[in-house]
Amino acid sequence: MQSSSAHPTSNDRREGLVIETDVNLKPYNTFGLPATARRLVRIREELDVRRVVDHPELGRAPKFVLGGGSNLVLTRDMDAVVLKMEIPGLRVEEREDCWIVEAGAGVTWHDAVAWSLEQGVPGLENMALIPGTVGAAPVQNIGAYGVELKDRLESVDVVDLTTGRRVELPAAVCRFGYRDSVFKQTGYGGLAGKSVITKVRLRCPKPWQPLLGYLDIERKMGETGIAAPDARQVFEWVCEIRRAKLPDPARIGNAGSFFKNPVVSAEQCRDIISRDPHIVHYPMADGSFKLAAGWLIDACGWKGKSVGGAGVYEKQALVLVNRGEARGAEVVTLSRAIQESVYGRFGIRLEPEPVVI
């Protein structure tokens, strides 16, 4: 792994900040794409955000919040001040009807899930092994196997990047959608680029009820003969399923699932099924249907194909990978070609999950 900084760090003692300059971001994004941050500040406590806001130079500069870099496609160097979120801390509070798990924004999401189970707190197991940090989880409204972050969020602590003021936001005001939230939105009331999450509180309800309705989990139940798994068993199954489908970013650069699973009306779904009876689809509570984006991409023949150093993973067409020396522009070119191909065959526009910079 390359050094994170081409030049020595500067310690602004008056402001209590360590500011790194000309930082190589390749180790800090799971795609392993090359880019340089002109200035990077490691945020290790909430007060560091206020120090940045009050800083005579950094306070006026544009800012970019970086968590685990697992949902990011870098196509250029970063002129904005990069706030690298590294706030630690995990604690649990037991209430009569639930457990509240509180985590610092810099904690790795999977570590928080595993730690919760170790404390005897079930409820997050379906979201095991999702890459990224806890602070980034509400931004993307991460989810897997029937559970989304919005289903478990109690509240978040947010610091305004203009005033430095901290507020606690309950889940109800976070405007969650499918892989979307107020923290990702730029329109009226949106908080993208205006705030940073420093702490997250998750609500795990009592009594615990397993969520087993996804095909992959049902297959595990059939294979093992375990009809009533506990939370630890579900956790282990989800980890096995994800490891079988998704490459380890430490070995093959990637950003996990690259496209959102499209949601269509019942009429659209029936039309597609009439032409492609084998399409993988899931009914939604509102009568719409979620289609498997990976199946659509695979049906268009993209699995294993490449554009320059960027490719489609051989084991899962939903995942784009860095075959060694890919650049962000090649990832973008490949993703657009896939979008055009899927639209041409199915009339469906795939939407990328990662943020393209």
Catalytic residues: 179, 257, 353
How far apart (Å, rounded) are the C-alpha atoms in residues 21 and 5? 7
Which bin fits 285, alpha (ψ -120 to 50), beta or left (φ > 0)? alpha
Residue type, 89: G
**Helices 231-245/215-224 angle, 10° precision:** 110
With the CA atoms of 98, 103, 105 and 106 taken in that order, what torsion angle do they form, in degrees rounded to the nearest 10?
-140
Percentages helix, strand, coil for the chain (3-state, rounded to 5) are 30, 30, 45
Planar angle of CA 144, 142, 332, nearest 5 degrees: 105
Enumerate the β-bridge partners of residue 23.
37
With the CA atoms of 324, 329, 330 and 331 taken in that order, what torsion angle do they form, in degrees rounded to the nearest 10?
80
How far apart (Å, rounded) are the C-alpha atoms in residues 117 and 231? 8
How far apart (Å, rounded) are the C-alpha atoms in residues 30 and 32? 5
Q: Are 314 and 272 in contact, with CB atoms under 8 Å apart? A: no
Q: Are 65 and 348 in contact, with CB atoms under 8 Å apart? A: no
How far apart (Å, rounded) are the C-alpha atoms in residues 355 and 86? 20
Compute CA distances 182 → 47, 150, 175, 215, 329, whole Å. 23, 12, 5, 31, 28
How far apart (Å, rounded) are the C-alpha atoms in residues 144 and 148? 6
DSSP for 120-148, written as a single string: T--S-GGGTT--SBTTTHHHHT-EETTEE
